[in-house]
Structure 1
Amino acid sequence: MTVDKTLALVTALCIGLVFAIGGAVVIGGNQAQLAASKSREMQVTALLLTSSMEQAASLSATHAMQIARDPLVVGMFKAGDRDSLTRYLKPSYQALASEAGVNMLHFHSADIKSFLRVQDPKNFGQDLSSIRPMILAANRSRQLQKGLEVGLAGLSLRAVAPVAEGETLIGTFEVGVDLKKLMDLAKSASGADFALFLSPAMSGFTPKDQTIAKDSAGLVQESATNSALFEQLHRQGAIGLQRSPVQAEARIDGKRFGTFAQPLLDYSGRMIGTIFIARDISEIDSGFNRAVIAAVAVGLIGLLAGYGVVMIAVRGLVLRPLGALAAHATAVAAGSEGGHAPDSSGLKEFADLRQAIDALAAEHGKRRIEGDEM
């Protein structure tokens, strides 16, 4: 390989190595920043749902206390007048259902039996003492209870307030919120999908259309904004019970999803399942991949451009002047009267070499003259 190609190749490889190292540092930093950004975004998304649930629980508790302390409600409840209670609270239920996602106004007698469901007046009389610990807690402590609880219809966000006249407990009153509506609102605000999975072993709840052993370690989907997506994630083993928040990624139908799971706790702080969040991050990853490809392309272009520039520079500054000096030195060695070496480069090293050749040529000429005179 010629000198110019060797020097150009070595120089270009050095330039390429610098580009590669710089690109690797930049890409690594961007990758770490992207991962941190994904983590923060998933945590904020999870906080959006849990904050919505906390706000809904507080709002439900406020309505439950207001209605439970209404003298008219207390009087009708004490008299056992279901029809009057239904007529009186029906407008309130309709307003709360449309504005706050409330799906239940439920009275329970002092012996913890269903007295009146305002949304379903003909459905009453069930003994709730063994399946509704929140009602039992409010009945015995005469203190407001709020949070998540599994009931006959599944998981719901509830607030249960005691209804009393003086020191006499008449019963309890409950306001329930539709969790599906809360999740749909959270999806609209964040673009992520949400699901609630219950553990039959921990919650005691088994869907009517499924047969699952009470001691099963599996999970059942209670509600979700995209049931099909979470069923696929569940089948892949991406969803399980989590004692602490866990972030991961999964691939479904060629799409990449960022996932976030955290414990699902009932009103008493007992773990009953998992809150699971999934967000399509395919576009984010595609953008990063495009940036990596662009960086590689810039590096290759830089490598080729560096090779070409070095080739031109080496030939112009080194090889041509060196060739001219070599030709002149050859002529001098052959006894030709070539005069001074050509002034073909401004580099100091070539100037020194030119002076040396000129001096050599002068000395050679002097010796020839002396030889001829002798």
Structure 2
Amino acid sequence: MSVPHSVPRPPLRVSSVHAGLIAALVLALSFGAMLALTFSMQNDVIARDRDHQMAAVSQAITAALDEAGRFALTQAETTARQHAVGRALAAGDRAALAELTAAPYAYLKSQGVPVFGFHAADMTYLLRLHLPDKFGDDLTKFRQMVLAANKTRRSQVGLEIGVAGTFVRGIAVINDGDRFVGTVEAGLNLEPILEQVKTLTNADIAVVLSQSLAELPPRGPGDKGEQFGDLIALASTDTPLFTGLLRDGAIRLARTREISPYRIGGETGAILVQPLIDFSGRMIGNIAAVKSFASHGAALQRTRIELIAAALIGIVLAFVAFSVLARMLKPRDEAQA
């Protein structure tokens, strides 16, 4: 009985077009994986650069507020060390105090120090050079910074909310001989400090108070700053920008420093929010900063277009090369068959 022989199958032939398509598909998958990895790495690099720049903005804000506080305290300390000032304050002589400090205050006012005044030992405001007709009011209820200086007999420096507004203040203790007779304060506006930081960092800055944390009374029609829930936009370098961000909820109360990406006017940007601390170390709101990174978006888009174009060109060239190679090898395979 004969055993049937199996008929050998002809070898599988792959056309040149199919070979090129297969090679192109493999390369496309490889290029796609490489592009995805590259894009992810680009995103990480940009995020790190963004966070680094916003951290620099945060440091610039802190440094500017500290420098302003030291300047205010220096002016107060310089005045407090004048013996004639101590004698006039001890005697409650408002006219003598005004005469002694009128010229220095005129200069300081031109340098951005609008608040300058003297507090008596009984915690009444003896003389406001910035409001000379307003005096004699009790400071025990609403001027915690003056109260701290009065009780501890030590200078105080930092941010404080007062009747005239929120200022970076320096308060120095005044003695007449060995006897404590009161304190003197110098206060700086926030807006020039914020503008200084903007010039250095190209970021817009805002000071935002929390009504609950700062324990502010209900607001009246003449109070400064627009309110959004619990937050009050006190001072900023761009009021319409921060008004919109607060209204949209893009800026919220934060107890730690937070940096988040944000699109500003169609451009890539970031928002920084960090605690706002008063002279006593109590959090009373936030400092917010917004910075645009238009160069990030443009550079990223340009780089990705170039990478995608290079990948497509590589795929097309691979398709053509493998198609030609498969066509060249086909006659040889047929001859060997």
Deviation at 1:261, TM superposition (A): 0.7
197-206 vs 223-232, greater mean Cα deviation: 197-206
Contact 1:45 1:192 in 2 (8 A): yes
Deviation at 1:262, TM superposition (A): 0.9
In structure 2, distance between residues paired with 1:209 and 1:302: 68
Instruction: Select the structure with the greater relative contact order (CA < 8 A; seq sep ≥ 6).
Output: 2
Indicate whether 1:172 and 2:183 are aligned.
yes
Aligned length: 321
In structure 2, distance between residues paired with 1:31 and 1:251: 15
Corresponding letter in the other structure for 2:128: R
Aligned partner of 1:304 among 316, 320, 332:
316
Post-superposition Cα deviations, 1:195-232, rounded to whole Å, max 9, x if no partner, equal 11111112133554379xxxx96111111111111111
Aligned partner of 2:171 among 144, 157, 160:
160
In structure 2, distance between residues paired with 1:208 and 1:274: 22
The residue aligned with 1:24 is 36
Post-superposition Cα deviations, 1:23-67, rounded to whole Å, max 9, x if no partner, equal 222221111011011111111101101111112112222221121
Post-superposition Cα deviations, 1:47-95, rounded to whole Å, max 9, x if no partner, equal 1011111121122222211211111221232333333333332332233
The residue aligned with 2:255 is 243
Contact 1:162 1:173 in 2 (8 A): yes
Give the structure with the higher percent helix: 1
Mapping for residues 191-210 of structure 1, pairs under 5 Å: 191-205=202-216, 207-209=219-221
In structure 1, distance between residues paired with 2:241 and 2:123: 39
In structure 2, distance between residues paired with 1:188 and 1:290: 29
- Which protein has the larger Cα radius of gyration, Structure 1 or Structure 2? 1
Normalising by structure 1, report the TM-score: 0.80
In structure 2, distance between residues paired with 1:65 and 1:7: 86
Aligned partner of 2:284 among 254, 269, 272:
272
Where structure 2 has 5 or more consecutive residues not aligned to the other structure, the ranges are 1-12
Normalising by structure 2, report the TM-score: 0.88
In structure 1, distance between residues paired with 2:313 and 2:31: 10
Post-superposition Cα deviations, 1:225-267, rounded to whole Å, max 9, x if no partner, equal 1111111111111222211111112334434430011111111
In structure 2, distance between residues paired with 1:61 and 1:4: 84
Indicate whether 1:125 and 2:110 are aligned.
no
Deviation at 1:178, TM superposition (A): 1.2
Contact 2:92 2:120 in 1 (8 A): no
**1:111 aligned counterpart, secondary structure:** coil
**2:307 aligned counterpart, secondary structure:** helix
Mapping for residues 48-197 of structure 1, pairs under 5 Å: 48-99=60-111, 101-197=112-208
44-53 vs 304-313, greater mean Cα deviation: 304-313
Where structure 1 has 5 or more consecutive residues not aligned to the other structure, the ranges are 326-352, 358-374
**2:150 aligned counterpart, secondary structure:** helix
Contact 2:267 2:297 in 1 (8 A): no
In structure 2, distance between residues paired with 1:91 and 1:301: 76
The residue aligned with 1:13 is 25
Corresponding letter in the other structure for 2:137: Q
